[in-house]
């Protein structure tokens, strides 16, 4: 059986932000993403979860080269795009698109639906006739109609605006779509509709997703594999069902324990075990970044950072509890 080659392969990716504290204060460095490595395979949905501030969105935008990365490699379909110029990135950007968190702020309020969806096609050289026919085709795919062509974003509900964002992302026939918190600005009743739409489009076009979200239940529903981030680092990665049924890292267990349960008599994992809040990514860590909050931390955890290791097929974790 031939080996499946990743569509996206990330190795030791880091993105650091440096700033000054006032006129005479010391320069500070925030390690938003710190040495992350993972693969995303064609046709799959890779979920990414973690608390606010852990670096999920920065990682996703770094993959699309919306940020200049600090170090590391990003391979897309076998090509290292980390060092490409804007001109060299143009053909790659057609194949990598994004759907962002707030559809209202990501859509130009002065453009009509027709202009919004056609804009990426214009940039990538589609002629006017092709732009119009493709726009009508996409509106049908996302559940909108020809009557919406000349309307502006403010005339739509949040769910409809997100459908417009999805249509715009699909306009140039990409292979990979970053879904950066695409549900968090939507009503709960609309979230399931958008997720079902994304899944239908994936099946129809063979799309590959990186799906970033806070809603752990929704991530489980849509993802094939899931990565868990903490303070810029990947601490666990596993197939979706494995992660939810057999979480290994104490942080993952604490995240899953935070999911509200319908039955109050069911005992939650690690209930009450997670202390404090996620810290800023400032300064150096001599050991595990989670050690100060971990209910199972050992002395070694404060001295030396653990490395990702495979504990079962496809299940990787960075934790000293699993040291061989």
pLDDT band of 28, cuts 50, 70, 90: confident
Does the structure show a pLDDT above 80 at 285? no
29 versus 209: the higher-pLDDT residue is 209
Of 45, 54, 61, nearest in space to 203 by CA: 45
Q: Mean pLDDT across the stretch 175-193?
A: 90
Domain 8-260+269-322 in this protein, CATH class: alpha beta
Report yes or no: 272 and 258 within 8 Å, Cβ to Cβ: no
pTM above 0.85, yes or no: yes
pLDDT band of 269, cuts 50, 70, 90: very low
DSSP 79-111: EE-TT--HHHHHHHHHHEEEE-S-TTTTS-TTS
Question: What does the pLDDT read at residue 82?
Answer: 93
- The C-alpha R_g of the chain, in whole angstroms, comes to 21
pLDDT band of 270, cuts 50, 70, 90: very low
95-142 tens-digit pLDDT = 999 999 888 888 999 999 999 999 999 999 999 999 999 999 999 999
Determine the Cα–Cα distance for residues 281 and 278; give it in Å rounded to an integer. 9
- If you ran DSSP here, which 8-state letter would residue 150 be given? T
Determine the Cα–Cα distance for residues 68 and 56; give it in Å rounded to an integer. 16
Q: Which residues contact 106 (CB under 8 A, 6 or more apart)?
A: 100, 165
Determine the Cα–Cα distance for residues 271 and 254; give it in Å rounded to an integer. 7
Q: Which residues contact 160 (CB under 8 A, 6 or more apart)?
A: 144, 148
Question: What does the pLDDT read at residue 279?
Answer: 60
Secondary structure element (H or E) that encloses residue 239, with its range: strand 233-239
Structure tokens at 212: 């970033």
Q: Mean pLDDT, the chain, as a whole number? A: 89
Domain map (residue ranges) of the chain = 8-260+269-322
6 versus 185: the higher-pLDDT residue is 6
79-101 tens-digit pLDDT = 999 989 999 999 999 999 999 98
Determine the Cα–Cα distance for residues 303 and 322; give it in Å rounded to an integer. 16
CA dihedral 14, 20, 26, 27 (to 10 degrees): 20
Report yes or no: 169 and 138 within 8 Å, Cβ to Cβ: no
123 versus 280: the higher-pLDDT residue is 123
């Amino acid at each position: 059986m031939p080996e499946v080659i990743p569509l996206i392969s990330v190795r030791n990716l880091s993105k650091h932000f440096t700033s000054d504290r006032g006129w005479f204060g010391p320069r500070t460095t925030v390690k938003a993403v710190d040495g992350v490595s993972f693969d995303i395979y064609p046709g799959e949905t890779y979920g990414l979860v973690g608390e606010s501030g852990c670096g999920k969105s920065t990682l996703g935008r770094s993959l699309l080269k919306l940020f200049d990365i600090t170090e590391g490699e990003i391979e897309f379909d076998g090509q290292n795009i980390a060092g490409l110029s804007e001109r060299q990135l143009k053909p790659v950007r057609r194949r990598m698109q994004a759907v962002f968190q707030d559809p209202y702020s990501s859509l130009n309020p002065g453009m009509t639906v027709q202009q919004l969806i056609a804009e990426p096609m214009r940039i990538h050289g589609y002629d006017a006739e092709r732009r119009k026919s493709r726009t009508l085709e996409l509106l049908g795919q996302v559940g909108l109609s020809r009557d919406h062509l000349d309307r502006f974003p403010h005339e739509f509900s949040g769910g409809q605006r997100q459908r417009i964002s999805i249509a715009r992302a699909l306009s140039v026939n990409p292979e990979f779509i970053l879904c950066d918190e695409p549900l968090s600005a939507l009503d709960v009743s609309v979230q399931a509709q958008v997720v079902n739409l994304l899944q239908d489009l994936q099946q129809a076009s063979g799309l590959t997703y990186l799906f970033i979200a806070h809603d752990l239940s929704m991530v489980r529903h849509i993802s094939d594999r899931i990565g868990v981030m903490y303070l810029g680092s990947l601490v666990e990665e596993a197939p979706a069902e494995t992660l939810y049924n057999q979480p290994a890292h104490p942080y993952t267990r604490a995240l899953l324990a935070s999911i509200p349960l319908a039955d109050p008599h069911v005992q939650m994992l690690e209930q009450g075990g997670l202390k404090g809040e996620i810290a800023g990514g400032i300064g150096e860590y001599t050991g595990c970044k989670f050690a100060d909050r971990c209910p199972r931390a050992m002395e070694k955890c404060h001295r030396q950072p653990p490395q990702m290791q495979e504990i079962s097929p496809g299940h990787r974790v960075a934790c000293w509890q699993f040291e061989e």
